[in-house]
Structure 1
Amino acid sequence: MEATGCWVVVAECLTLSVAYVCSLYVWSSPLNRDHPSTIKRRLVSVSVMGVVSPIFTYYCVSEELLAKHSLWDLLGMRWPGLLAASAVPLLLTMFLFLGPLVVKTQSESLAAWTEPSYWLENLTSIYWLRDHVIAPLSEELTFRASLLPLLVQCVSPVKAVFISPMFFGVAHLHHIVGQVQSGVPFKRAALISGFQFSYTTLFGAYSAFLFLRTGHFVAPFIAHAFCNFMGFPDFGEVLSYSEPKRSLTFGLFVAGFVSWCFLLVPLTDPLIYQNTLYWEPCTSRPPLHAR
């Protein structure tokens, strides 16, 4: 694709990102983001974006590409490799969170996670549903399933992994507005949002990698939901442990990260997921963006 065409694609990706954020603020209300009314209104907004985003992709993606692949395939919603995409990326992400998982079991009983009442309580909580279902579902649908098919038309999948998270990270900067409205000083709110931008951008790269390598929407969605469930690692709690528990726990953090690094490529091999759309398992065919 020519340079002019690539700038058009970037503009389309930016438009999609801005539209997602703006949809959250179409409601005029003094209530903060955690108020039930705000959550319900934003649920309506992201539901609309869940319809708009794929349609936007359909009309913006090249006709040549649509002639070769269905919109469902481009969005990563296909049957071949679905079972593997639902389980293997989650296992991979759990390796990354090996240390935090151990820490979490210190404060939460594993037995509680197997109790139906635990999940029933969570599934009836609008806050839990927002963080673990609605947000991952809507964000992955817009920023991965709908945005990446546009982006890979003019850049390689590898470049798309590093470019697309910028749209995702910037889309989270709007949280600074809610923090300032809740009374947080601007400098502190900016610092918090900057930190959030950093780790959401890193996660965005990982999520894009999962989507492009597996060719499945469910892979980044489940990984996203799991990461939200785990939250950011609580290093402060680990530091409060006495020795040798503290050193052993930090050792698990390192072991988990090293294991994740070694397993990242083999466990996302496109052959496992029957994916030949975004990330070719062989070099005999040109990548999607060059076709």
Structure 2
Amino acid sequence: MPLVFASPPISLWTAHLFAAFFTFSYVGSLYLAKSARLSFKKGPVSRVRDGEERERYSDERWRNDPDVIRARLLAASASTLLSVYAVYWLVQRVTPESESSANPWTALQSSLARLGVTLDFARNSPFYIALPCLVAPVLYLGPIYADYLSETLPFQRHWSFRSSVLPMVSTWVGRRNYIVGPITEEIVFRACMLSVYHMAGASRKKMIFLSPLWFGIAHLHHAWDTYNRYGRTGSALRIAGVQTLFQLAYTSLFGFHCAFLFLRTGSLAPPIVSHIFCNVMGFPQYGLHVRMFPRRRLAIQLAYLLGIAGYVYTMRWWTQADDSLFWPAPGQPARY
């Protein structure tokens, strides 16, 4: 259990400053090194049809180029470590001198617990980690059913380890999308950010519904990449704008989900697992699934509706830890 305080040890403005630092250091790290920056041909580029990517020139550096991904993953990992250290530094500053002198590990232990890194399962139910990790799959009951119909679920006819799993760990795009990206983003935008807002005494609503906006803001820089890849035309500008707004909305909504999981459980594991799972599944495509299997339309609709209902149920009953620092049981005093 981390060292706790009866009242918030930092101000809300301090938390805002730390949140801004976490966000802009993470995004900024992707552009510090030349090897991590994107580069596009200056001047006119090849014309393309509206809605299609243009031809990539040999001297350009695009987002999915392996060397760009390698450099960016290294930069993001370094920025994540810096954010974790910033939380440790802050906890160390607010830890009473008497506590730190009595136990030099107090600040470190408190920092790790606030970041959701704990193996203290004894105080929790056996399903402390497992059940919260299953909330996202419940929501995706509709898409999972469609995958079942497509026979692409594990061990079905159109699934194979070589084509379905191996690319996630053997390619740089897979490592970014399913390993390093989800882990570093959840550490920075959930663990680090929510820990400082909690120390500032921010309400649960603010932590769940406002802090994820930083996560959405961190994805706005993709607009420049989209605009260049689609030909730097008026159509490309519209595509970049629509995709950016959609991504801002989606990442913010997803941030609400992960923030709730983190606060309820006090653990970083459920948000990371949910992030990886949702990246693997992608955005639900109800219309596509109905067109693919018109005879199963009602069954698909029912699966989607059951997924939503199940999500509402499981978010309440499958996530409450016995003694979460961020979400104390009813009747228990707030701790910071």
Task: After superposing the two structures, state which structure 1 stretch, 118-127 or 253-262, moved more.
Answer: 118-127
Write the mapping of 1:117-196 to structure 2, written as runs, cut at 5 A: 117=162, 118-154=164-200, 155-183=202-230, 185-196=236-247
**Superposition RMSD in Å:** 2.4
Change (3 A) 1:27 1:182: farther
Q: Identity over aligned residues, as a percent?
A: 27
Cα distance in 2 for partners of 1:139, 1:85 equals 22
Q: For the structure 1 residues 238 and 218, does the alpha-carbon distance in structure 2 shift closer, same or farther, using more than 3 Å as the test?
A: same
Secondary structure of the equivalent of 1:147?
helix
1:76 aligns with 2:127: no
Whose Rg is larger? Answer: 2
Q: How far, CA to CA, are the matches of 1:114 and 1:78 in structure 2? A: 35
Who is 2:279 aligned against?
228
The residue number in structure 1 matching 2:31 is 25
Relative distance call for 1:182 and 1:255 in structure 2 (3 A) is same
Aligned residues between the structures: 284
Paired position in structure 1 for 2:260? 209
The DSSP-based 3-state class of the residue aligned with 2:308 is helix
Partner of 1:10: 16
Shift of 1:205: 0.8
Contact 1:92 1:264 in 2 (8 A): yes
- CA displacement, residues 54-87 of structure 1 (integer Å, 9 cap, x when unaligned): 1111223461499686111011110023973542
Give the deviation of 1:128 after TM superposition.
1.3
| Higher mean displacement: 167-176 or 242-251 | 242-251
- C-alpha change, 1:85 and 1:172, in structure 2 (3 Å) is farther
Task: Report the residue type matching 2:174 in the other structure.
Answer: W
Cα distance in structure 2, aligned partners of 1:111 and 1:21 = 38
Separation in 2 of the partners of 1:171 and 1:79? 30
Counterparts of 2:198 and 2:205, CA distance in 1: 9
Contact 1:279 1:287 in 2 (8 A): no
CA distance in 2, matches of 1:228, 1:46: 18
Structure 1 runs of 4+ off > 6 angstroms?
A: none
CA drift of 1:109 comes to 4.5
Partner of 1:277: 325
Which structure shows the higher helix fraction?
1
Q: Give the partner amino acid of 1:94.
A: P
Counterpart for residue 88 of structure 2:
58
Partners in 1 of 2:292 and 2:159 — Cα distance? Answer: 27
Give the unaligned 5+ runs of structure 1.
none
| More deviation, 4-13/96-105 | 4-13
Deviation at 1:181, TM superposition (A): 2.0
Q: Does 1:41 find its partner at 2:71?
A: yes
- 1:79-90 map, 5 Å: 79-81=119-121, 84-90=127-133
The TM-score, its normalising length taken from structure 1, stands at: 0.89
Query: Partner of 2:318: helix, strand, or coil?
Result: helix
Structure 1 letter corresponding to 2:328: E
Query: Aligned partners of 2:180 and 2:128: how far apart in 1?
Result: 20
Mapped to 2, the partners of 1:162 and 1:242 lie a distance apart of 36
Structure 2: how far apart are the matches of 1:74 and 1:135?
Answer: 21
Change (3 A) 1:267 1:105: same
Unaligned runs of at least 5 residues, structure 2? 1-6, 40-60, 101-105
Instruction: Give the Cα–Cα distance (whole angstroms) in 2 for the partners of residues 241 and 176 of structure 1.
Output: 31
Question: Is 1:255 aligned with 2:255?
Answer: no
Question: In the alignment, is residue 264 of structure 1 matched against residue 264 of structure 2?
Answer: no
